[in-house]
A = this chain, B = another copy of it.
């Protein structure tokens, strides 16, 4: 398509999404749940079709020599298809956030003022290889009463189209407009540029992917973006920590999974307990093949550590590599996190009440934890039911974003003819 064609195509997608958004905003809970169940049914029934479409994407990906990790993310299996369908049923089981009224109180003037939760309108989702995002994002957006415009990676186009057909069948079965979920048909990059600047038709953009993708979108966008940048997560072991808990948490936060955004990248240890903790803990890390990079004090205790460079403290490794620094107390730990962290998830291990309270108040991250692993920062673990991403922004949504993050609140005012003086 030419640039002009892409512009026209995207404008028409946007217009249809805006129209559909008004219908799904007032759709009742039963219709939305019926659509979700029908989508799940279609996905299960069409397993063979989805696997065939996915095989086509995989052939192209291998021919283009894509990385193994990319191919992994792109691959659908019977199991991942079942999980996708199950996810839609789980979303159907969540309470409908739309129309929820809170804080409806009488004011001295006699009017009653409260808030009603409402859909945002049209959500644009831009993602990379994972085809399951097509179903997850469509389900979450619909349940929150929004229309969705989905732009998946070009490498997953056949898989995404096949999943979108199931999603649209679900909408049709429930009498909802099929245009409530649209998959961008062109793989041209210019379509993204158009999507993130159509202020009249798109209310918010949720990019899911690497930091590069998200930074590029944020810099181009004229529509608000819910960003998920990097996760440089810390665990601070205080000198009043329970040593056994501390070792288990520090082990888990790094080694449970290496490639996730809530994995610890830097361990901070109070100087008074460093020599008690580090020898045992580092043995565990070495046994699991984790490369350690420490400051001078840490390397005095465990000599096999590499020296950490200034740049290392800012790194999101997403790999079996860990920084270790010895600090002289809570203040230095908080200062380190403030300077080098990414405001994603940080934890303290301590039995000291006042320090736990200070850490919770003063560390300015989307999740702040006491005596547990950073790996818990997750929509399912937090009870949101599902998440569309994790926000490292401060405005609107922070941390795991579920149905609530895909809605807004308006004021409602009930009167009996009251007038303002």
Contacts and interface: CB of A to CB of B under 8 A. Distances in A.
Contacts of A73: none
A413 B26 contact: no
A368 B400 contact: no
Given A364-B410, A395-B408, A113 B417 contact: no
Interface in A312-343: 338
Most buried by B among A361, A362, A382, A417: A417
Given A120-B395, A400-B411, A410-B366, A417 B248 contact: yes
Contact of A413 (B118, B245, B376): B376
Given A26-B362, A376-B109, A410-B368, A203 B418 contact: no
A68 B415 CA distance: 37
B368 A411 contact: yes
Contacts of A376: 109, 111, 413, 415, 418, 420
A369 interface: yes
A394 B121 contact: yes
Interface string A404-421: 000011111111111110
A76 interface: no
Contact of A107 (B113, B118, B382): B382
B394 A399 contact: no
A65 interface: no
Contacts of A245: 416-417
Contacts of A396: 395-396
Interface in A211-243: 224, 242
Contacts of A412: 360, 367-369
A164 interface: no
B408 A398 contact: yes
A275 interface: no
Contacts of A371: 414-418
A228 to B, nearest CB: 14
A71 interface: no
A332 to B, nearest CB: 15
A256 interface: yes
A377 B411 contact: yes
Given A371-B416, A416-B371, A364 B395 contact: no
A239 to B, nearest CB: 17
A24 to B, nearest CB: 12
Interface string A77-111: 00000000000000000000001000001010101
Interface of A: 22, 25-26, 99, 105, 107, 109, 111, 113, 116, 118, 120-121, 203-204, 224, 242, 244-245, 248-249, 252, 256, 338, 347, 360-362, 364-373, 375-378, 381-383, 394-396, 398-400, 408-420
